[in-house]
Amino acid sequence: MDLVQDLIQQCQSGDKEAFGKLVNPYIKKAYATAFSILKSKESAEDAVQNSLLEAYKNIMAGKEIRMFPSWFFTLVTSRSLDIVRRTSKEKANCESSGTYEIADQAALPLETVLEKEDRLNLLEKILELPEKDRILIILYYYQELTIREIASQLVKKEGAVKTELCRARHKLQSKIKSNLITFQRLVN
């Protein structure tokens, strides 16, 4: 039995320190992953904390976790995307009610504001993708993992990862293009 599975079993047996030993090697990368998606220290900390709580609950509930690192980073990615979704909905609610957060953006140069909006729009399109496509896009572009690393984490062949990533890119491009066409129709 490997160390990770041993720590999971110790945790399930009530060893409170085992969970810390289990997750400690992954905390910095988990934070970096969340920060790369959210671009906010506080939001990234929230995403990691929510992921840790969910991981602990799943382990204590006896969930079988074979590839802990890959499962945990998928969890961090999902919780980060949940925060993006929630933030996007709150932003949409503010815009529809006529309330804007001008104080935040007033101090920023126009390019920074536009770049932030572009990044948020791209994330919204990524969120619309099916989960397996979303995970591949995030692992490759946000976590900057290689095809080999993704294949290892997802327990797939490299060729399969390349093919699925290519399909995910095409789906994302289609979503972006359809959004552009809709925008052009509104303008014209």
- The answer on pLDDT for 92 being more than 70 is no
Q: What is the mean pLDDT of residues 2-15?
A: 91
The CATH T-level fold of domain 1-100 is: Rna Polymerase Sigma Factor; Chain: A (1.10.1740)
Higher pLDDT, 181 or 84: 84
Give which of 9, 152, 139 is closest to 74, Cα–Cα: 139
Q: Where are the domains of the chain?
A: 1-100, 108-188
Quote the pLDDT of residue 103: 47
The CA-CA-CA angle for residues 131, 122, 48, to 5°, reads: 60
**Who wins on pLDDT, 128 or 167?**
167
* Topology, domain 108-188: Arc Repressor Mutant, subunit A (1.10.10)
pLDDT reported for residue 151: 86
Domains 1-100 and 108-188 fall in the same CATH topology = no
pTM: predicted TM-score of the whole model, two decimal places: 0.60
pLDDT of residue 46: 94
Measure the CA–CA gap between 132 and 18, rounded to whole angstroms. 30
- Residue-wise pLDDT for 48-83, tens only, equals 999 999 999 999 999 888 888 888 988 898 898 888
| CA separation, residue 140 to residues 41, 46, 97, 169 (Å) | 22, 23, 37, 11
